């Protein structure tokens, strides 16, 4: 279970860094998800490598997964909203691509939070 969770966090971290650049579009939640993605991967990797007990690092990584879900939900809602003014002129296509990646990453954060919780509870290991 630990290695599956690490692979999912690695996918999240790989998507989080390019999406973090979307913070330049005025979406601070994209910067938050980048920190949550890279931080969750790093904490879970340290937990698995060192094998610390109690599972504090795994629980913090699980919390970062939940934070990532919330940040991506806010970002996706803002990027796809027609009512919110503040989009930069000429960058509508870029916002659509960032919203697509946000829609891909949102369920990944949810799955990573679930698997990290299972790792912290030592279920399936």
Pick 89 or 118 by higher pLDDT: 118
> DSSP class of residue 21?
G
Q: How is 47-60 classified by DSSP, letter by letter?
A: HHHH--SS-HHHHH
For the chain, what are the domain ranges?
A: 2-120
Position 69 confidence tier, pLDDT thresholds 50, 70, 90: very high
CA-to-CA distance for 112 and 125, rounded, in angstroms? 16
pLDDT digits (tens, 9 = 90+) for 6-57: 999 999 999 888 887 767 667 788 889 889 999 999 999 999 898 877 889 9
DSSP state of 82: S
Count CA within 13 A, CB hemisphere, residue 119.
32
85 versus 95: which is more confidently predicted? Answer: 95
Query: What is this structure's pTM?
Result: 0.84
Given this model, what pLDDT does residue 24 score? 67
pLDDT > 70? residue 89:
no
Question: 89 or 41: whose pLDDT is higher?
Answer: 41
Smallest CA-to-CA distance from 11 within 117, 106, 86, 91 is with 106
């Amino acid at each position: 279970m630990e290695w599956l969770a690490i692979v999912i966090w690695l996918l999240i971290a790989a998507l989080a860094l390019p999406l973090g650049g979307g913070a330049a579009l005025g979406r601070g939640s994209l910067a938050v998800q980048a920190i949550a993605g890279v931080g969750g991967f790093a904490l879970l990797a340290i937990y698995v490598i060192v094998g610390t007990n109690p599972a504090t690092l795994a629980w913090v990584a699980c919390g970062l997964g939940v934070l990532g879900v919330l940040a991506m939900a806010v970002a996706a809602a803002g990027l796809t909203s027609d009512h919110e003014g503040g989009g930069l002129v000429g960058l509508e296509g870029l916002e659509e691509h960032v919203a697509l990646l946000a829609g891909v990453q949102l369920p990944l954060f949810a799955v990573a939070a679930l698997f990290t919780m299972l790792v912290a509870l030592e279920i399936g290991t």
